[in-house]
């Protein structure tokens, strides 16, 4: 059951990224580029996505457990250096090309060579991230 819920959820996610135009890098870069020809679309996408999700969080409080799962996610943890450093690195890459992980995967069938090169580099980045993370931990611990 969990597998098919995953499939349904991924399908809705993919459909939403397609319909919203978020796989178009000019729209994403256009939103980030407040000093250029600013494109507000991304704000509508975020707003449109946050609303049903906020309702879902409220509903989850009234359920003992998820429909097909054991438990709901734990409360989110503390803000730490890794959160900030990671988000800054991610943001630099996001602005540079205009792709984040969701749209990079969703657009792979029509993103051409550029999309494929980005996706492969991203997967390599994710593969080596645990090493970078433990390096950061050691660096922080040594301070």
Partner 1 sequence: MDIDWIYGLIGGALIGTGGAVYLLGNGRIMGASGIIGGVVDGSGRSNMAERVLFLAGMVLVPLLLSFTVQRPDTHVTSNVWALVAAGLLVGVGTRIANGCTSGHGVCGISRLSLRGIVATVFYILAGGLSIVFFRHILGWI
Applying the rule CB under 8 A, the residues between 69 and 128 that interact with partner 1 are 69-73, 76-79, 82-102, 104-115, 117-128
Q: Cα 62 from chain centroid? A: 27
Residues 2-21 that bind partner 1 (CB under 8 A): 2-21
Backbone dihedral region of 98: left (phi > 0), alpha (psi from -120 to 50 degrees) or beta? left
Rounded CA separation 74/46 (Å): 23
| Of 128 and 141, CB closest to partner 1 | 128
- 21-40 binders of partner 1 (CB under 8 A): 21-27, 29, 32-36, 39-40
**The binder of partner 1 chosen from 52, 138, 141, 143 (CB under 8 A):** 52
Identify the residue among 63, 138, 139, 142 touching partner 1 (CB under 8 A): 63
CA distance 19 to 15: 6
Tell me, by CB under 8 A, how many residues bind partner 1: 117
Could you tell me how many helices (H) and strands (E) the chain has, helices first?
A: 6, 0
Q: How far apart are CA 105 and CA 114, in angstroms?
A: 12
Residue 140 makes contact with partner 1 by CB under 8 A: no
């Amino acid at each position: 059951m969990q597998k098919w819920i995953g499939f349904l959820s991924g399908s809705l996610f993919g459909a939403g990224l397609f319909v919203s135009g978020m796989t178009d890098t000019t729209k994403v870069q256009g939103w980030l580029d407040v000093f250029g020809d600013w494109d507000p679309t991304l704000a509508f996408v975020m707003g449109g996505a946050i609303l049903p999700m906020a309702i879902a969080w409220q509903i989850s409080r009234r359920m003992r457990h998820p429909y097909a799962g054991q438990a709901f996610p734990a409360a989110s943890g503390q803000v730490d250096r890794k959160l900030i450093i990671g988000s800054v690195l991610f943001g630099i890459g996001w602005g540079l090309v205009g792709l984040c992980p969701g749209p990079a995967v969703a657009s792979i069938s029509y993103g051409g060579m550029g999309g494929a090169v980005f996706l492969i580099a991203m997967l390599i980045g994710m593969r080596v991230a645990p090493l970078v993370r433990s390096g950061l931990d050691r660096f922080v611990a040594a301070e």
